[in-house]
Amino acid sequence: MKSSILSLCAAAGLAAALNAAPVFAGAGHDHGPKYGGVVRELHNVAYELVAKPDSLTLYVSDHGKPVPTQGAQAEAVIYAGNDKTTVKLEPAGENRMVAKGNFKVGVGVRVVLTTTLPGKTPAKATFNLK
């Protein structure tokens, strides 16, 4: 009886440790939005898209540290119902790329963004706006 209780306690402890492991493994990997946008991670780089009716702003970071966008290229394809709009984003500061214009944004709008950072392969991410 004593050994079965010990085995049960050991199994419960192992299960608790395994359930906690992802929390510790992800320490330092904060991929939540910092600017109120939608975040996608590709190749260990976090892309946060902030979509407003007059601008699209992309913030790029690596483990919370800004990734320089000078020399980067980005193109967004915005799908809003039956409408499709393509726009280029330009570097605009330390880790930002921006497109100005008149954009349909909001629930149900999807943005497919292709970004090429200097020295990196192109990254393509889909953002479902909220």
Transcribe 73-115 into DSSP letters: EEEEEEEETTEEEEEEEEE-STTEEEEES----STT-EEEEEE
What pLDDT, on a 0 to 100 scale, did the predictor assign at position 34?
86
Domain count, the chain: 1
**Separation CA 40–CA 49 (nearest Å):** 9
pTM: 0.75
- Flag whether 3 is in a domain: no
- Flag whether 30 is in a domain: no
Over residues 28-79, the pLDDT tens digits come to 455 678 888 999 999 889 999 999 999 999 999 998 899 999 999 999 999 9
CATH code, domain carrying 56: 2.60.40.3340
Query: What is the extent of the structural domain holding 119?
Result: 38-128
- Flag whether 18 is in a domain: no
Is the separation of the CB atoms in 74 and 113 below 8 Å? Answer: yes
**Separation CA 21–CA 26 (nearest Å):** 9
Instruction: Tell which wins on pLDDT, 44 or 101.
Output: 101
- Flag whether 28 is in a domain: no
- Flag whether 12 is in a domain: no
**Dihedral sign of CA atoms 123, 60, 106, 76 in order:** negative
